[in-house]
Structure 1
Amino acid sequence: MGRRKIDELLLSAFGWVPARVALGVLTFFGFMNQFMVRVNLSVAIVAMVHQNKTVDEVQAQCTAEPQGSNNSNSLVVGTTEYQADALTKIIMQDAPEEKGLAWDEVTQGLVLASYYYGYTVTQVMGGRLAELYGTRFVFGGCILGSGIITLFTPLAARAHAGAAIALRVLLGLTGGVAWPSMHALLARWIPPLERPRFIAFAYFATTLSVTFTLPFCGLIIDWHGWDAAFYVTGGLCLSWCLLWFTLMHDSPSKHPRISREELEHIEMSVAAGGSSKKTGTAIPWRHISTSMPMWAIIVCDMGNTFGLSIYITQLPTYMRNVLGFSIKKNGLLSGLPFLCRYVGGVISSTVGDWLLSRGFLSIVNTRRIFSAIAMLGPTVVLVGVAYSGCDPALAVSLLCLSMFLNGAITTSQLVNHTDIAPNFSGTLFGISNTFASIASFISPLAVAAFIENEQTMSQWQKVFWMCVPIYAASEVFYLVFCSGSVQPWNYAGQHRRHAHDELSGPEATALQ
């Protein structure tokens, strides 16, 4: 069946669905898959790594002493059965040779961080390729390559830690183009006032993916072993690619099922926001490198990503080694904060768009207020996490609150690239995410340095305290230097068109 015939069938069945809504659904599941293969190792590594001690010898600090012990320094909660269950499954694998991989704390940190070594390299390239050639090929190729690489991960891990690191670097190279390429699509497809909501729904599928992937992989590992976690997630990526390459179109004007009304609304709105149908061939590197609004985004992105990567890569380990949860319960509870982040993103973007469209706030003040919520909120809450002790309900609740507040990033830094230079938003996102990636691969190594092979509450308090000044300092810089106005260099290589003069009403007011 040809693509034209497929388009005709889809038009007759789903012609009532706005094209950009269908695009959002496709993008949602694409990001779900992309992040699934990125974070599956965070849960799998708990079962992959060999434990040198027996079940009785290896205990989480929160279950280290029996209740009623005279040791005043003991930390006790009623989760001993979870810890024993987790360690039994990790140590007593199906066969003697399956007891686990002999990776120490440093090796585990290197394996977890290696994704970001590759992820850093392709950020700018991904954004620029999508600006010039479209997101369909770039984003689709990212998921396709990631799925294939994931299928080979168990083989590489069993062969050698170096092979696993190399494959994770390659996975990072492939995944690095995802977010920047989607920002190029955002500038072409989504009206400016709808962008925070689109980011919250579609982009933040990555956050929802963490919520789903951690317990999902925990169950798969419990049922079929850690190899299966990679096979299942890799296979889901390949299945999604069939839909993406069949249904995706790079611009509204190329979409065969879009209504005339929706096409006119999108084209007029994105033009008013400073987007041009054709991107200039020359990137204004000098102006970008000296733009303080751009540096505000970069610094804020680095601070936010440093803290977030600790949540993503280290939370399952903290849940098991300190709070004493089983691998199944570990996955479920580790995912809850990210579910809260998704909910926070949807709520904050909806409220922010409402305030902006009604004229209650300017773009720059909207970005500042919600950025303060997203960055300073976790700064305060993490202090509480550091001293929550062995109350698992309190610890998980605080982590959930921290991530809920951080969801406001959808209405601030994460969309700010399209405010200041929509024609180069993919490239700008690639630049800022390149810097953020440096923070991403530093954070697991920093955690390993603080832990020093001692999985104790006091060591983890140092980890949480480490995040506090990083969140706070990066946010202060953003508040001082951010902007909500289109920068003159957005029109480099073009004749500036005052398309916003063609609009009237709240949309035009909000964009000026």
Structure 2
Amino acid sequence: MDALNRFLVRTMGWMPARVALGAMAWLGFINLFMVRLNLSVIIVAMVGRNTSASSRAYCYNTTGSLDQPSVPVLGVAVVVQQGEFDWSETIQGLVLGSFSYGYLLTQVVGGRLAEVYGVKWVFGGCILAGGVSNLLSPAAARLHYGALITLRVLQGLCQGVAWPSMHACLAQWIPPLERSRFVSIVYFASTLGTAMTMPLCGLIIDNLGWPAAFYIIGSLSLAWCIVWALIIHSTPAQHPRISPEELQYIESAIRTSGTSRKGPTKVPWRHIATSLPVWAIIICDVGNSWGISLLNFLLPTFMKNILGFSIKANGALSALPFICRYVGALVTSSVATWVSARGLLSVANTRRAFSVIAMLVPAALVVALVQVGCDWQATIAILCLALFFNGAVTSSIIVNHTDVSPNFSGTLFGVGNMCASVVSFIVPVVTGIMTDGQQTLGQWRKVFWVCVPMYVLPELFYLAFLSGSVQPWNYDTQEPTNLSTATGTTGTPKHNTVTTTTDKHNTTTNTTIIVPSQPEKNGSTQDGRCGM
């Protein structure tokens, strides 16, 4: 390892350690979602159209009522693809949703494991499990769909730790003003992974067959795991190649934000369970998860059975909305960082404004979506716009955990993601039941209509009860007990005041530390390097 460290210092010593972490985590999230969501495209090639449905896509048939096939609109011949398996829509829904059955069980465990033991092995292990699961998937599917469901449940069980473990890493590694940008670039690589998976799977399936899509994507995950294990470390203090200046900058910034050097040993479950700001995040996350789960798992099915695209065209067009979501995340997070750095809005109002963009604008666009019928160009355009604006979740609900409790952000994210994961396996099953033997535009309109209240009602709750402040239960009794922000007349934070109280041998000592809360101009950090 010493030789490796010397080599990395010579070749990559110019790169801040947190940027290297971000780059590897970015690739990790791409891999995470490639092995998770490739089945949504592959299943289109695995399974033939249900015999109870028309042999042609809805929009290619010729009658005109809402629940009967209508006039063709695409102007090209439909390729009728016969899959290897004869699974009904209900079985397909169970297979697609099975990942989430296991995924929800390890959310809280993943956040807590990373808070206590670090992100290196927790996050790395879950990517490894996904790669192995993909390599075994073709054999499991050919054995029985129940075997594939079992394998997917186990994959979800292992990969449920991914997001909460990285959220714990966020609180340890990334200064507060860099977090929105880090989340948009790194976390939303998951969206980029979705966008890459769909056309890549389509291309592989078209040339090599559906099993090859599992084998190639699984192998990419294993290759990533080797590099991650060699160069990544769980905390800045453990990193052998970090510069003293960067280490001091990170540790000073995260202490000011309320993150303890040593994570608290006891989770304040009662306070978490009764905290309205926490419930606001959880409920809004559940609403957002409904719409994203629908598109993640079932957009390729809609594109094939209703709009009539071949597997290759299906993958490419299904990817476009997710590319727009990634771009939207980058744009909105940059705006949020600019607004916060200049004190134009408080943390709470920043979260509030960007949550409106992320939830209510897509709800309005879904209303428009159900009106366009078989107009595939309008359908794709509306989906692209909806997911572009939904990218603003990176500056609202996704990062809000670190505002209210940086010490327990991984645990909070795990709790919220566990609840959202329930939605992830309900959506494919409910949609499968609604469209079983009824692959018509009328039924799919009903599916899309359900998204509207699932966006609007949780968002109203979030707006009413969100918080941008560190909660008192964030701290142990031996840790900082009060964190306040002094502001001038413009509302711009001038400094953070951290008051620490220690009680040892019946002697009480109060210490107040005032640390500047704003970075230097032009986004530069204290070590003179560009921030993440």
Bucket of the pairwise TM-score, normalised by the shorter protein: over 0.9
Given residue 22 of structure 1, which amino acid in structure 2 is its aligned partner?
Answer: A
What is the identity, as a one-letter code, of the residue corresponding to 1:504? P
2:272 pairs with 1:272: no
Say if 1:281 and 1:76 are closer, same or farther in 2 by CA, change over 3 A. same
Q: What is residue 76 of structure 1 aligned with on the other side?
A: 72
Match of 1:179 in 2: 163
Q: What is residue 297 of structure 2 aligned with on the other side? A: 313
- Counterpart of 2:210 in structure 1: which amino acid? W
- Map residues 177-326 of structure 1 onto 2, 5 A cutoff: 177-326=161-310
| Residues matched between the structures, number | 491
Letter paired with 1:158:
R
Cα deviation for residue 494 of structure 1 reads 3.1
Where does 1:97-496 land on structure 2 (aligned, <5 Å)? 99-496=83-480
Structure that is richer in helix per residue? 1
What percentage of aligned pairs have identical amino acids? 53
Say which of 1, 9, 12 aligns to 1:11.
9
Q: Normalized against structure 2, the TM-score is what?
A: 0.90
Mapped to 2, the partners of 1:286 and 1:349 lie a distance apart of 33
Deviation sequence 1:224-279 (CA, Å, 0-9, x none)? 11111110111011000011000101111221222222111111111111001111
Cα pair 1:63 1:79 within 8 Å, conserved:
no
Equivalent residues of 1:287, 1:489 under 8 A apart: yes
Amino acid at match of 1:9: F
AA matched with 1:11: V
- Secondary structure of the 1:502 match is strand
Match of 1:23 among 11, 21, 24: 21
Partner SS, residue 506 of structure 1: coil
Matched residues in 1 for 2:436 and 2:8: separation?
57
Separation in structure 1 between the aligned mates of residue 345 and residue 52 of structure 2, nearest angstrom: 59
- Work out the CA distance in 1 between the residues paired with 2:49 and 2:62: 20
- Who is 2:515 aligned against? 503
Structure 1: unaligned runs, 5 residues or longer: 92-98
Q: Is the 8 A contact 2:404 2:470 kept in 1?
A: yes
Aligned partner (choices 58, 63, 78) of residue 60 of structure 2: 63
What are the superposed Cα offsets for residues 382-438 of structure 1, whole Å, 9 maximum, x if unpaired?
Answer: 111111111111100000000000000000000000000000111000000010011
TM-superposed CA distance for 1:54, in Å, is 12
Q: Per-residue CA shift, 1:49-72, capped at 9, x if unaligned?
A: 1346599x61111111299x9xx9
CA 1:488 to 1:388, structure 2 compared with 1: closer, same or farther past 3 Å?
same
Please give the TM-score of this superposition, normalised by the length of structure 1.
Answer: 0.93
CA 1:277–1:79 in 2, change beyond 3 Å: closer, same or farther? Answer: farther
The answer to whether the 8 A contact 1:80-1:324 is kept is: no
DSSP 3-state at the match of 1:50: coil
Which residue type is aligned with residue 391 of structure 1? D
SS at 1:414's partner residue?
Answer: coil
The CA distance in 2 between the partners of 1:362 and 1:235, in whole Å, is 45
Equivalent residues of 1:120, 1:435 under 8 A apart: yes
Give the residue type in structure 1 aligned to 2:17.
Answer: A
In the TM superposition, what whole-angstrom CA distance separates every residue of 1:136-161 from its partner, at most 9, and x where no partner exists?
A: 01000101111111110110001001
One-letter identity of the residue aligned with 1:242: I
Alignment-derived partner of residue 95 in structure 1: none
Residues 227 and 79 of structure 1, relative CA distance in 2, 3 Å threshold: farther
Deviation at 1:14, TM superposition (A): 1.2
DSSP 3-state at the match of 1:158: helix
Aligned-pair CA distance for 1:73: 7.6
CA distance in 2 between partners of 1:472 and 1:428 (Å)? 23
Residues 277 and 465 in structure 2, CA contact (< 8 A), matched pair in contact too:
yes
Contact 1:197–1:346, Cα closer than 8 Å, also in 2: yes
Would you say the 8 A contact 2:69–2:440 is kept in 1?
A: no
Residue identity in the other structure for 1:64: N
Report the Cα distance in structure 2 between the residues aligned to 1:145 and 1:447, rounded to whole angstroms.
28
Distance 1:405 1:377 in 2: 7
Give, in whole Å, the separation in 1 of the partners of 2:228 and 2:13. 18
Contact 1:323/1:390 (<8 A) preserved: yes
Rounded Cα–Cα distance in structure 2 between residues aligned with 1:378 and 1:395: 13
8 Å Cα contact 1:301/1:432 also seen in 2 = yes
Q: Unmatched 5+ residue regions in structure 2?
A: 484-496, 499-512, 521-532
What residue number does 1:96 align with? none
The one-character-per-residue Cα deviations of 1:214-233 (angstroms, maximum 9, x if unpaired) are: 00001111111111111011
Match of 2:506 in 1: none
> 1:147·1:233 contact (CA, 8 Å) conserved in 2?
yes
What letter corresponds to residue 518 of structure 2 in structure 1? P
CA contact (8 A) 2:58 2:440 kept: yes
Q: CA contact under 8 A between 1:284 and 1:492: conserved in structure 2? A: no
Secondary structure in structure 2 of the residue aligned to 1:120: helix
CA distance in 1, matches of 2:404, 2:145: 43
1:289-347 residue CA offsets vs partner (Å, 9 max, x unmatched)? 00000000000000001110000000001111111111100000001000000000011
Alignment check: 8 A CA contact 1:180 1:426 kept = yes
